[in-house]
Amino acid sequence: MNCNYACGSAEHNIHRRQFLGTLAAGTGAVVGGLGWFAQPAFAEQMARQQKRMLVINMHGGLSQLESWDPKPGTATGGPFRAIPTSVPGIHISELLPHTAKQMHHLALVRSLNTKNDDHGKGTYMMLTGRRQMPGQDYPQIGAVVSRALDTSTRSLPGHILITPGGGGGRSADSAYLGPKYASIVLGNGNPPQNTSLPGGLTVAAAAQQDELRRLANNRFLSRRRTAQTDAYTQSYEGAQELMRQREAFDLTKESAKDHERYGTHDFGRHCLMARRLLEKGVTFVQISHSNYDTHNENFNFHFEQLGEFDRPFATLVQDLYDRGMLENTLVVVLSEFGRTPNVNQYYGRDHWGRAWSVCLGGAGIVRGAVIGKTNDKGTEVTEREADAGHLFHTYLKALGLNSKGHFDLGGRQVLMADPAVGPIKELLA
Amino acid sequence: MKADPKAAHVAQEFTHDAPLITCRFDPTGRFIFATAEDRAILRWDLATGQKTVFTAHDSWVGALAFTPDGTTLVSAGYDDQLIWWPATAEKPAPVRKVKAHAGWIRALAVSKDGKQLASGGNDRVVKLWSLADGAPVREFPGHDRDVYSLLFHPSGQFLLSGDLKGQVHQWEIGSGKLARKFEGKDLHSYNGGQQVDFGGVRSLALTPDSKHLLAAGLHKATNPLGAVHEPIALRFEWESGKLLKSHISEDVKQGVLWRIIAHPDGPLIGCSGGGNGGFLLFWAADAEKPFHKFSLGNTAREMDLHPDGLQIATAHYDKKLRLTKLSPKPAAPAAAPAKKA
């Protein structure tokens, strides 16, 4: 988008609608969130509350029957048993003994029907709250939250993904919110790529080089400023800030005891990194745990994967609580879909979007709640059906945002969440 | 009668209400026992076909073992428990329950003298019990991952245990010490894309002369989560521990050897199950590829050889227990002469 700022822009001018919204709010009128985002008072309030969000994406499709909605002793239940949790009456799979002890910090939605069995579409739906449509693209929850909770004091990126592998870099997951809110990927939990000075270049020399760059840049911008040049400058400044704060990504700064508590495997390290980043003020952190697409030997692989997931996740929840952060950190454990109640010929379970579960906790969530129900065999939702859109609204509301509100993009209003649905109110504290 | 693999044919089927998991003949050869996804243990009388259901486990049952006289059955559950049963009782009820492991018990073995029972599973510990009274005798910790298979050496000196990583541990029963390891590296792989360990020593066997150890499972796991892998059995020389040969079946692209048995007549018999179906694979001792492949008609999950050496039982996903005979089909009765018009 080329934009001549001289003619007025979203970045430099107060919008007419924003102005009217603020004015209306001041006179007691209800305006449904118009202009709320840019209000300094609101931003400061959010900064004080330090709302954050942690998503753990169980990549491939976690089996609800081996996790949050076990059906032991039924034809579809599989071999694992259910165990009691710290919340009387709530049972989860025996594969999650540590998580079971944290249940009083968490809540379950057992009635998801996303009507989708495709990995890509499921991921899109669960992270954007919308169905994937040709010609349309919506920002992922990390970008939305990063922007909606943006503050002028935030110096680290607001949207970080920790992936099991890969080199890192930047993702195209912010759609119309722009590159500033796109995720920075920490491949295998390593610091962002290219954030250390090249060998032989001193800090002083780098500063001199940067000064020269600024001079040239300012000279250019004084005559040829566009949204693109601003995005470039923003990216460059952001990268420099990352270089200055590289220590934020340095897990060696965490104690040996904490490394032991979280486990030395990748997922344990990634959870510890998530704690560190959330503590440093990063607004949104997403960890992926791979892989749950268990068409083959579902029980062996869930034993293996959840055996790795359980302790670090429970440790992270407990640490967030102990450090007073859980109150303001929304925690979500999601997948692209669940897995079939039917056990196939390879002891596997296949894709299943018709009746599955997610786990939430922390900020704005009723602790120990169980929303919805499936039938005895787990094949259908029988109570309080919900889908990805409802969850998306719920996330925003739990973070204190108006999920019916909108982003104001160059004078164009874009709704934050699917207007056809709303939050799961019973889940909101 | 000598077994004739090329004459293999399914002679009998027994049906249950849920997919089957494993199966074993009792030592007398009177019954075939199986377990199922409904937690049941099933006993079929081979002569009459009568089915008896044993129920007590709180999960699926992964392994079965017997006293040499066939009077006592021990079942191993995914509920941490070993349960002792009167194997031939009309209305069987547990006589002893032992919380033996933390988590799944995947394998059982009985010593040749019938005095000791070994168990192993997801807690990575091999345990030795008195078969007579269930008293604990010894533990063998040391596996890095889940224990999948067990086998007593007929000398009575050693116990063998195979794990997910493809390692076979040879334990000295008397001292509890690890004598050596057989490295079945081909039986395990780590898939970095899917971030999973896969494979394992699904079955162990010794040749009748005890000169060769066989460790079976899968290899070429290009897609572990999607069941793309091929069956394989590794043949080790007992004396040296050296890997002598791999027995494979290249035309079974989706299969795992759930069990391997060295038939007393010489051939090696593997039970393969997977996306390509269920097969009995027969190898000569010195051959890489099978000389015969018999299709069972449905994914097989386990196998056992009858004491007569002529019948093979296989447990199947389609809820059936199939009895395959390694002998020619009996001749069909001669057709009655057609009546004249």
pLDDT of A220 higher than 50: yes
Helix axes A266-279, A298-322, angle to 10 degrees: 30
Domain shared by A199 and A184, yes or no: no
Domain shared by A229 and A299, yes or no: no
Would an 8 Å CB–CB cutoff place B79 in contact with chain A? Answer: yes
Distance CA B80, CA B59 (A): 9
Domain shared by A69 and A151, yes or no: yes
Domain shared by A263 and A313, yes or no: yes
Distance CA A319, CA A317 (A): 5
A165 contacts in B (CB within 8 Å)? Answer: 192-193, 195
pLDDT of A63 higher than 70: yes
Q: What pLDDT, on a 0 to 100 scale, did the predictor assign at position A49?
A: 63
Domain limit, last residue, from A249, A265, A292: A249
Assess if residue A208 is contained within a domain: yes
Task: Out of A153-157, A318-322, A410-414, B199-203, pick the least confident.
Answer: A153-157
Domain shared by A161 and A202, yes or no: no
Nearest-by-Cβ selection for A343 from B37, B122, B225: B37
Q: What pLDDT, on a 0 to 100 scale, did the predictor assign at position A42?
A: 53
Distance CA B85, CA B94 (A): 5
Q: What is the band of A242 on the pLDDT scale with cuts at 50, 70, 90? A: confident
Assess if residue A6 is contained within a domain: no
Region A381-410: what's the mean pLDDT? 96
Quick one: how many helices (H) and strands (E) in chain A?
Answer: 11, 17
Please answer whether residues A273 and A189 qualify as being in contact, where contact means their C-beta atoms are separated by less than 8 angstroms. Answer: yes
Non-local CB neighbours of B1 within 8 Å, separated by 6+ positions: B310, B327
pLDDT of A311 higher than 70: yes
Distance CA B281, CA B288 (A): 12
Tokens of B273: 């199950």
Task: Out of A1-5, A50-54, B46-50, B245-249, pick the least confident.
Answer: A1-5
Nearest-by-Cβ selection for B197 from A294, A296, A304: A304
Q: What is the band of A196 on the pLDDT scale with cuts at 50, 70, 90? A: confident
Q: What is the DSSP string of B143-193?
A: -SS-EEEEEE-TTSSEEEEEETTSEEEEEETTT--EEEEEE-GGGEEEETT
Assess if residue A82 is contained within a domain: yes
Q: Mean of the per-residue pLDDT values for chain A? A: 87
CB contact under 8 A, B225 and A79: no
Q: What pLDDT, on a 0 to 100 scale, did the predictor assign at position A222?
A: 84
Query: Could you report the per-residue pLDDT of A313-323, keeping only the tens digit for each?
Result: 999 999 999 99
Distance CA A56, CA A305 (A): 13
From residue B97, give the alpha-carbon distance in Å to each of B82, B83, B84, B130, B134: 6, 5, 6, 13, 8
Per the structure, the count of domains in chain A is: 2
Three-class DSSP category at A243:
helix
From A341, A388, A298, select the one nearest A69 (Cα to Cα): A341
Q: What is the band of A33 on the pLDDT scale with cuts at 50, 70, 90? A: very low
Q: Mean of the per-residue pLDDT values for chain B? A: 96
- With 0-12 CB in 10 A as exposed, 13-18 as middle and 19+ as buried, what is A124? buried
Region B232-239: what's the mean pLDDT? 98
Q: What pLDDT, on a 0 to 100 scale, did the predictor assign at position B139?
A: 98
Please answer whether residues A114 and A128 qualify as being in contact, where contact means their C-beta atoms are separated by less than 8 angstroms. Answer: no
Region B234-262: what's the mean pLDDT? 97
Domain shared by A203 and A344, yes or no: no
Assess if residue A306 is contained within a domain: yes
Please answer whether residues B230 and B219 qualify as being in contact, where contact means their C-beta atoms are separated by less than 8 angstroms. Answer: yes
Domain shared by A234 and A297, yes or no: no
Query: Nearest C-alpha of chain A: how many angstroms from B300?
Result: 9
Domain shared by A238 and A323, yes or no: no
Domain shared by A361 and A374, yes or no: yes
Q: What pLDDT, on a 0 to 100 scale, did the predictor assign at position A410?
A: 84
DSSP state of B330: P
What per-residue string of b and e applies to A54-71 under the rule 16 or more CB within 10 Å gives b?
A: bbbbbbbbbbbbbbbbbb
Distance CA B103, CA B121 (A): 7
Query: Could you report the per-residue pLDDT of A284-304, keeping only the tens digit for each?
Result: 999 999 999 999 999 999 999
The DSSP bridge partners found for residue A184 are: A160, A170
Q: Of all helices (H) and strands (E), which one includes residue B294?
A: strand B292-295
Query: Nearest C-alpha of chain B: how many angstroms from A4?
Result: 46
Would an 8 Å CB–CB cutoff place B19 in contact with chain A? Answer: yes
Q: What is the band of A50 on the pLDDT scale with cuts at 50, 70, 90? A: confident
Q: Which of residues 97-156 of A touch B (CB under 8 A)?
A: none
From A262, A3, A284, A39, select the one nearest A145 (Cα to Cα): A284
Domain shared by A227 and A292, yes or no: no
Dihedral sign, Cα of residue A71, residue A73, residue A77, residue A81? positive
Domain limit, last residue, from A203, A225, A249: A249
Non-local CB neighbours of A198 within 8 Å, separated by 6+ positions: none
pLDDT of B316 higher than 60: yes
CB contact under 8 A, A296 and B227: yes
Would an 8 Å CB–CB cutoff place A215 in contact with chain B? Answer: no
Q: What is the band of B217 on the pLDDT scale with cuts at 50, 70, 90? A: very high
Mutation target among A93, A347, A351 for the B interface, most CBs of B within 10 A: A347
Region A61-72: what's the mean pLDDT? 98
Domain shared by A354 and A218, yes or no: no
Would an 8 Å CB–CB cutoff place B156 in contact with chain A? Answer: no
Assess if residue A25 is contained within a domain: no
CB contact under 8 A, B196 and A301: yes
Please give the span between the terminal C-alpha atoms of chain A, in angstroms, as a whole number.
41
Would an 8 Å CB–CB cutoff place A301 in contact with chain B? Answer: yes
pLDDT of A27 higher than 70: no
Q: What pLDDT, on a 0 to 100 scale, did the predictor assign at position A203?
A: 82
Domain limit, last residue, from A208, A226, A249: A249
Query: Could you report the per-residue pLDDT of A328-361, keeping only the tens digit for each?
Result: 999 999 999 999 999 999 999 999 999 999 999 9
Q: What pLDDT, on a 0 to 100 scale, did the predictor assign at position A148?
A: 94
Please answer whether residues B74 and B84 qualify as being in contact, where contact means their C-beta atoms are separated by less than 8 angstroms. Answer: yes
Please answer whether residues B178 and B167 qualify as being in contact, where contact means their C-beta atoms are separated by less than 8 angstroms. Answer: no
Assess if residue A218 is contained within a domain: yes
Q: What pLDDT, on a 0 to 100 scale, did the predictor assign at position B286?
A: 94
Domain shared by A94 and A56, yes or no: yes
* Residue percentage of chain A with pLDDT more than 70: 88
Q: What pLDDT, on a 0 to 100 scale, did the predictor assign at position A221?
A: 84
Task: Out of A72-81, A211-220, B20-29, pick the least confident.
Answer: A211-220
Interface pTM (ipTM) of the complex?
A: 0.95
Region B186-203: what's the mean pLDDT? 96
Q: Which domain holds residue A235?
A: 194-249
Assess if residue A130 is contained within a domain: yes
Assess if residue A124 is contained within a domain: yes
**Nearest chain A alpha carbon to B319:** A345
CATH number at residue A271: 3.40.720.10
From residue B316, give the alpha-carbon distance in Å to each of A62, A345, A346: 26, 9, 11
* Residue percentage of chain A with pLDDT more than 90: 69
Please answer whether residues A362 and A329 qualify as being in contact, where contact means their C-beta atoms are separated by less than 8 angstroms. Answer: yes
Nearest-by-Cβ selection for A346 from B122, B198, B227: B227
